[in-house]
Amino acid sequence: MHRTHTCGELRKEHAGEEVTLSGWVHVIREHGSKQFVDLRDRYGVTQVVLEEKADIRRETVVKVTGKVVEKPKANEKLATGEIEVQASSCKILGPADPIPMEPEAENTEETRLKYRYLDLRRPDMQAKLQFRDDCASSVRKHMHAHGFTEVETPILMKSTPEGARDYIVPSRLHKGKFYALPQSPQIYKQILMVAGMDKYFQIVKCFRDEDLRADRQPEFTQVDVEMSFVEQDDVIALGDELLKNVVKDVLGKDVKTPFPRLSYAEAMDKYGIDKPDARFELFLHTLTELVKDSEFKVFSEAPCVRCLVAPALSRKQIDKYTELAKTYKAKGLAYLQVTKDGVDSPIKKFLSDEVVDKIVKETGAKPDSTILFVADKEKVANDALAHIRNALGKQFELYDPEELNFLWVLDFPLFEWNEDTKDWTPMHHMFTMPHEEHLQYLESDPGKVLAQAHDIVLNGTEIGGGSIRVHHKDVQERVMKAMNISEEDAKKKFGFMLEAFQYGAPPHGGFALGFDRMVALFQGETDIREYIAFPKNKAAQSLMDDAPSDVEQEQLDELHLTVKK
C-alpha cells in the first residue's frame, strides 16, 4: 500500500496511529543525525522525522511509514501542524536529480513552460486547475438541469472558414486533400438542430491559427450552446441563468439577473467600444459639431472629435496617455485642464471662450478634471479613448475590483467593411440572422443591416457571443452573396449545410463562452495560460514537448507532402 492518508490529512486525533504517507520531499532540514522532511502532495504538507538519514533531496518521491506524534508546540502555518510522523522506514519511490527550476521562485515563462510538470506542482497552480474543473462541472450541472445534451462533434472536419485561419491536417488516404481543425463547432451544432437534438451543449476544444496574446491560445475551450425554437430573448435568458448559477457555485457570489443589455450603437456612443467596462461611469462625448467652426484646425478639419473627462492629470500622465492613444493610431491627444480658476491648455488660444464654455457645459466637466480629446476618424477616436478610459479606470481605481459586471451587447451590424479586401465581412460569422426588418437592405445597403447577435461582456472583456441563426437556404445564400462569395464557392464550401436546410430546419440560436477566459476572469486574472495545464507560448510553441517539430521524411511521403525549401 502506498498510503494510508494524504499529506494534508493528519490531525492530533491521529496521534499514536501507524500511518504510511507518500509524496514529494518539499524541504529537508538536517538536525544532527536526524532529517526533518516536509512531505508534500496535492493535499498538503506533513512534517516527517527520519531518525536515519536517507539519500534524498528536494522533490524525491518517497514513501514513509511511522507513528503519528502530537507536537508539543503546533506549527500554525500547516493544517497538519499539530502532529509529525516519526518514520520507521523511508523508501524512495522516485529518485530526483537536482531540479532545473525552483517552482516557487519568479521563473520566466519559458522555464515555467519547459518544466511545466514542476511548475504545476505549485499549490496555486493546482488550485487553478481545480477551479477550472469546478467551473466545468458547474456548467455541466446547470446545462443538464436545463435539459441540454452534451454531444461531441468532430475534430477532423472540412475547412469552412469562420473568420480566422484554419489549422489543416493532410489526409494520407486522399492525396492532396486536407481536414481542418474546427474553429468552433458552429456548423455541426446548427446541423444538430436540423437533426432535432433541440438543446445541445459541449465543453469543447477549438483551434484558430491566429497571432497570440495573453488571452488567446491556438487551441482553447468553449462552452458551446445551441437551442431550437427560440428567439433571442430565450437564448440570452439561458445565458443569464447559466452564468448566474456558475458564479454562485464557484465563487459563492450573487449576481443580479437579467444582465443589462446595451445596443452596439449605445455601447459605441457611451464607451467607444463594443465590450464596455460598465463598472464605472465615465462616458465619451462627441464634440464634432460643437468645434466645427473653431480656429483650431485639428478640431475643425477632423471627421470626428470625441473626448472624455478624466480626473485631473499631470503633464507626465497626459504624456503617458498620449503614448497610449498613439498605439491606437491617434495622432495625438489634446487636453483642457479644468480648475476652479478656469480652464487652461495650450490649445485654449485657438478656441473662443464661447466654445470652451460650451465644451465644459456639454461634458459636465467639474474643477479638478482634465478633458482629453481625440480628433480623427471615428474608429480611431473611439479606439484610443476607450482604451484610455479603461486605463483611467484602473489607475484611479474607479471600480470595485471584486465586482463582476456582466452585460450583453446586441444589435451589432451584420457586416463591417474590410478596407484590405474591399468586401463586407461578418462581424460575427456568416450564419448570423439579420433583423427581419433589415433583410430588405442585404443587397442595397449591407452596412445598414443589423444582426440578431449578442455578445456577453464581463468587466470589459468579451467572454462570449452568439446569435439567432439563418435557417433558410435562400437567406443564407443572400448573406454569402453580400460577402462576395460566389455561388460556386458557397456550394463547394457550405453545400452540405445549405442542403441540410432544405429538409426542414427549425429556427435556432445559441452562443459560445470562451471558457479559459471566463475562468481566469472569475479569479481576476487575464492570462489564460495560468488556467491551461499545457499552454503554448506566444510563438504557438509547446516548449515542454517541443511542438511543432520536424517529422520523418517517411511521414511526409505517406501524406504526399513536400516541404518547400
Applying CB under 6 A, the residues found at the interface with ligand ASP are: 184, 186, 465-467, 510-512
First vs last Cα of the chain: how many Å apart?
57
Shortest spacing between CB 206 and ligand ASP, in angstroms: 6
Shortest spacing between CB 143 and ligand ASP, in angstroms: 14
The percent helix, strand, coil of the chain (3-state, each to 5) is: 30, 25, 40
Q: Which residues of 183-204 are buried (b: 16+ CB within 10 A; e: fewer)?
A: bbbbbbbbbbbbeebbbbbbbb
Half-sphere exposure of 39 (CA within 13 A, CB side): 33
Taking the least distance from each CB to ligand ASP, the nearer of 330 and 456 is 456
Shortest spacing between CB 564 and ligand ASP, in angstroms: 32
Shortest spacing between CB 193 and ligand ASP, in angstroms: 12
DSSP code per residue over 29-80: EEETTEEEEEEEETTEEEEEEESS--S--TT-EEEEEEEEEE-SS--TTSTT
Taking the least distance from each CB to ligand ASP, the nearer of 373 and 406 is 406
Measured between alpha carbons, how far is 232 from 237 in angstroms, rounded to an integer?
A: 9
Taking the least distance from each CB to ligand ASP, the nearer of 330 and 512 is 512
Taking the least distance from each CB to ligand ASP, the nearer of 54 and 520 is 520
Which residues contact residue 142 at a Cβ distance below 8 angstroms, ignoring those fewer than 6 apart?
241, 242, 245, 246
Taking the least distance from each CB to ligand ASP, the nearer of 322 and 467 is 467
Nearest to 500 by CA among 465, 532, 473: 473
SS3 314: coil
- Element (DSSP H or E) covering residue 83: strand 83-94
Peptide bond into 218 cis (omega under 30): no
Taking the least distance from each CB to ligand ASP, the nearer of 5 and 469 is 469
Q: What would you report as the CA-atom Rg of the chain, rounded to the nearest whole angstrom? A: 30
Nearest to 232 by CA among 34, 429, 54, 435: 435
C-alpha cell at 326: 498613439
Residue nearest to ligand ASP (CB): 184
Nearest to 284 by CA among 293, 297, 273: 273
Shortest spacing between CB 407 and ligand ASP, in angstroms: 18
Contact between 484 and 423 (Cβ < 8 Å): yes
Taking the least distance from each CB to ligand ASP, the nearer of 63 and 142 is 142
Shortest spacing between CB 477 and ligand ASP, in angstroms: 19
Shortest spacing between CB 163 and ligand ASP, in angstroms: 8
Neighbours of 125 (CB within 10 A): 18
Taking the least distance from each CB to ligand ASP, the nearer of 25 and 407 is 407
Shortest spacing between CB 421 and ligand ASP, in angstroms: 20
Shortest spacing between CB 546 and ligand ASP, in angstroms: 29
Taking the least distance from each CB to ligand ASP, the nearer of 45 and 512 is 512
